[in-house]
Amino acid sequence: MPIIPVVLTELLKAEIDAAVTEFAASGPLSQTDPSHFIILCTAVAAGLAEGTPTILFTTDDTGLSGVPPVPGAGVGVGVVVDDVDMASRVYTKVRTHAAIFGETTHSPWPPPAGDSGKYLEAFCLGFGRAIKSHFATTWALVGTHPTIYSGTGVIPAGNFAGVVAANNWAKILQAGAAILGPGWPFLALAISEGFTEGILELATGAVTITGACVPSISQVCAVPSTGAGSGVAG
């Protein structure tokens, strides 16, 4: 199944809080009133779930084919995310969008010790870790493979599609309508852009291809071969 908002919300809260606590005395959940942080995590999770209900993909297939070709069906679980890369993208987007409103004291990624960007770095690292953890088990991959009936379909970096930053941004803002402040829209934009780029450019995955080839006078089976497939993660 796709993103589960309530599960991702809890992961965001836990991972961001843990990342902040790594360099600070306490995390946002230890605040007297952590409600704003919880509302933010809830909005991000709900917005990404609404904005990205499915993800398209294509595969590089290796296995057995038939002559004539016998199709196979691919099944897999999880989208593999580079959490540090995604964190760096979100951090960099925040700096870029903040500069539009003036200037930022945050150093480029990764900010050095004592830099004003350390809290943002922790937030972004926690975000990336939460996405990585959730995506490893939440997506069911279903593929169609015209020429390989038994083997593996690898989804290399760059082979996911259908994730749109503008959709995610709009849904995050909609889910976080109660969040006030001039910084919220560009933080939501940075999250949606960094998330989208991280999936489209570096995420990977794989499916196991199965099918039935029955040898006969007119059907040759078990021919080692390569091919290409396509599918949907949902």
DSSP string over 24-73: SSS-GGGSS-THHHHHHHHHHHHHHHHH-S-EEEEEEEEEEEEES---EE
Nearest C-alpha neighbor of 225 from the set 156, 152, 144, 143: 152
pLDDT at 25: 82
pLDDT tens digits, 128-152: 999 999 999 999 999 999 999 999 9
**Amino acid (one-letter) located at 42:** T
pLDDT tens digits, 25-67: 889 999 999 999 999 999 999 999 999 999 999 999 999 999 9
Please, which residues have CB within 8 angstroms of residue 122's CB and are 6 or more apart in sequence? 16, 19, 20, 22, 23, 24
Confidence class for position 16, pLDDT limits 50, 70, 90: very high
Q: What angle do CA 8, 12, 13 make, to 5 degrees?
A: 120
- The structural domain count of the chain equals 1
Please, which residues have CB within 8 angstroms of residue 133's CB and are 6 or more apart in sequence? 11, 15
Dihedral sign for Cα atoms in the order 131, 136, 137, 139: positive
Domain of residue 119: give its range: 5-233
Confidence class for position 1, pLDDT limits 50, 70, 90: low
